[in-house]
A and B are shown apart, each in its own frame.
Chain A
Amino acid sequence: MWDAFGFEFVNFYFIPGLVLGCIYALGAIGITLTFGILRFANFAHGEIMMSGAYLTWTVMAIAGAAGLTLHPLVAMVPAAALVIILFLGTDRFFYKPFRKADTIKVVMASFGMMLIIRSAVQAIWGPNQITFVPGIARPNATLQSITGDMGMMILMPNKHIWIFAGTLVLVVALGYLLGRTRIGKAMRAVSDSPDLAHVTGINVDMVIRATWIVGGICATAAGVFLVMDTQMLETTMGFRMLLPMFAAAILGGIGKPYGAVFGGLVIGLAEELSAYPWIGDAPLLSPGYKTGVAFAIMVIMLIVRPQGLFKGRSF
């Protein structure tokens, strides 16, 4: 029983919603960029997230065997490099041949990639769950006592603080890349109109590579944040996140990275807050059906405003 804490709305609904939202947001950035620039729904994105988390775990395990304790956020760096190579490799051998063909072919190719990556991970690491960090994470004591003195006790384990900080850094860096750098501007141009961008001399292949690199970094981060939160690795965890991430990308507007961040936070919060007892004592919606909230938002959005909140592309 937790009624001793008070303030349960923030601690048990709002903060978990934001944590989930951050993970959705980072995953949705990759999806929305691929959708905007390469013009196909990449079904393999969830599995790339998952493989990024497995690679991070492996880096930590290898470092651990050498007597070195690495924080997941440090181990993520070499893992992200490997994920980028994986992304570029799949693009070169599986997606590029279909670049000029119908979109449905490359979508099917990505669906195949999804199954290949998952099976490969199951073959290498096994179908069993792997413990990322054993034990349970108690709330950060300093934060608890400071906020407790102010009369609004916030219970937040360290892992959530890292997730918030990591997401913030990545989103700010992405904003700088897209807004201030040459390649970022080129990416936005290709996203708006690939033919026009090509005519004005933008190297489209370069932009595509940049897209995969940005998507790979964000996907690895999303996967690592997810396993930092759940503290375990499992081979279908990426696939389970895929559909809410699509919902986030569509809500924000296809091709709009900020839209994806916003959409991710909205979907994450909506899922968690739907179970809050807004009216009376019973949960507004039985928590067993909270997955449906993401899809309800997606369907309503597609009907009412298919271009998304941030005026993305509509199909």
Chain B
Amino acid sequence: MKTTLLATAATLMATTAMADVNIGNPMAMTGPIPDLNAPIAAAVDLAAANVNAQGGMFADGETLNIIRADSACDPTAAVDAVTKLINVNSVSAIVGPVCSGATIAQAESVSIPAGVVTLSVSASSPAISTMEDGTDLVFRAAASDAYQGVALAELAMANGMDSIAVSYANDDYNAAIAEVFVQAYEAMGGTVTANEAHEPNKASYRSEVATIGAGSDNLALFSYYGSGGITLMRNALETAAFTNFIGADGMLSDELIEQLGADNLMTSTFTTSASDDSTPSFGAWKAIADEAGVPAADPFVANGYDATFMMALAIEHAGSGDRETIAESLRAIASAPGEVILPGEWEKAKAILASGGDINYEGAAGNQDFDENGDVAGNFSKSVIVDGAWAAELIQ
């Protein structure tokens, strides 16, 4: 009886493996940034739907399945979620972890030891560039904050802030971008009057704000909006400790407008990873996204589509869902030489790959050419309040 069961189970698993390609997709469904996460998850699903609608995977048209899990933007939850995806769902690769801390933890503890490729949709901590030791398994479709921190420092200078206080949440993403920002800002001749970490998820940040508020009217705030960022801003405004605010992706959410009121955000500017909307790639993506009702220009949404589409291309290029060859294929399909593939052009790419040709995916969010660290270059935008809503403008 036991043998029969085992045999049946083995057959079932073998059938699943033959009929489908599974990609694990840990996303920050709960935790501090569910609002930012929702459209990114929709973009991942949209990419898979495009692939399946245009002939699916391989010659026999196998289905591309996205197996979603909740990493909660938290290192511990991410390790749990990815362990399940790799060991139980036997996924071919991981497309996902949204937050830097989650990405680093799951890569170090689970996916690198298991030899599984991770392609993050939005992790931007500079620490991810150098985290691998001899392997080539961690990639990302969003630009490192090594660039965004500098862009933000330039923005602060351009806005005439010659002194600034810095407050950052004590996590991999926020601490790293704050460090880059402070270095760049001081190199440009700015004065940092205070530079303190804050513990996420506290009910009150009044003492933090009071501690750093003595020296300057300007605050560079690096935090996730949902784990203290909004509370800290509220406390800073209530106590009139600061008047001008700048910050990065983690804070850019409509939740700020809803909770603090647009009137109180007129002196705030937040940067985020953005797409250059004049490229043909972005045009192709916008058409697909608009039709599906996905907000094309929201933070990291284009990156989510790119990551999923590239992973599908890489698996198609590798010829099977085997984990070993995916990293190599990912590099092959993302950069020159080869025929340029725009978002959504699955049928075309599949035909070229089937005839043994080369392709070069040009993504919606950028050209998506991986460097030796698995990083991509990117553009940034700054958002300010116009008519009660965030209005983004590309930083040149």
Contact = CB atoms under 8 A, between A and B. Distances in A.
B259 A20 contact: no
B211 A19 contact: no
A291 B203 CA distance: 11
Contacts of B197: 286-289
Contacts of A230: 203-204, 231, 234
Given A236-B201, A272-B206, A291-B199, A134 B259 contact: yes
B132 interface: no
How large, as a class, is the contact surface on chain A? Answer: 35 or more
14 contacts: A12-B206, A13-B207, A16-B204, A127-B30, A128-B255, A131-B255, A157-B238, A229-B203, A232-B259, A234-B226, A241-B203, A286-B197, A287-B197, A287-B198
A226 interface: yes
Given A1-B216, A287-B196, A287-B197, A11 B203 contact: no
B210 A8 contact: yes
Contact of B211 (A11, A137, A232, A277): A277
Interface of B: 29-31, 34-35, 170, 196-199, 201-211, 213-217, 226, 230-231, 234, 237-242, 255, 258-261, 264
Q: Which 7 A-B pairs have the closest CB atoms?
A: A288-B197, A12-B210, A16-B206, A287-B208, A127-B30, A275-B207, A127-B34
B315 to A, nearest CB: 31
Contact of A288 (B199, B241, B264): B199
Contacts of A2: 210, 213-214, 239-241
Contacts of B201: 236, 240
Given A12-B207, A287-B211, A136 B198 contact: no
B255 A12 contact: no
Given A283-B196, A287-B211, 17 more contacts: A1-B213, A1-B215, A2-B214, A2-B241, A16-B204, A129-B35, A129-B230, A129-B259, A155-B239, A230-B204, A230-B234, A232-B231, A235-B30, A272-B206, A287-B205, A288-B199, A289-B197
A3 interface: yes
Count chain B CB atoms within 10 A of each CB in A136, A237, A277 and give the residue with the most: A136
Contacts, number: 122
A236 B203 CA distance: 12
Contacts of B30: 122, 127, 235
B207 to A, nearest CB: 4
A138 interface: yes
B35 A291 contact: no
A290 B237 CA distance: 22
B207 A290 contact: yes
A13 B29 CA distance: 35
A49 to B, nearest CB: 12
Nearest to B35: A128
Contacts of B258: 131, 134
Contacts of A17: 207
Given A136-B238, A234-B226, A288-B196, A3 B214 contact: yes
Given A127-B34, A129-B259, A136 B206 contact: no
A90 interface: no
A177 B31 CA distance: 40
A3 B199 CA distance: 25
A283 B197 CA distance: 12
A16 B234 CA distance: 14
A276 interface: yes
Given A16-B207, A135-B261, A231-B234, A290 B239 contact: no
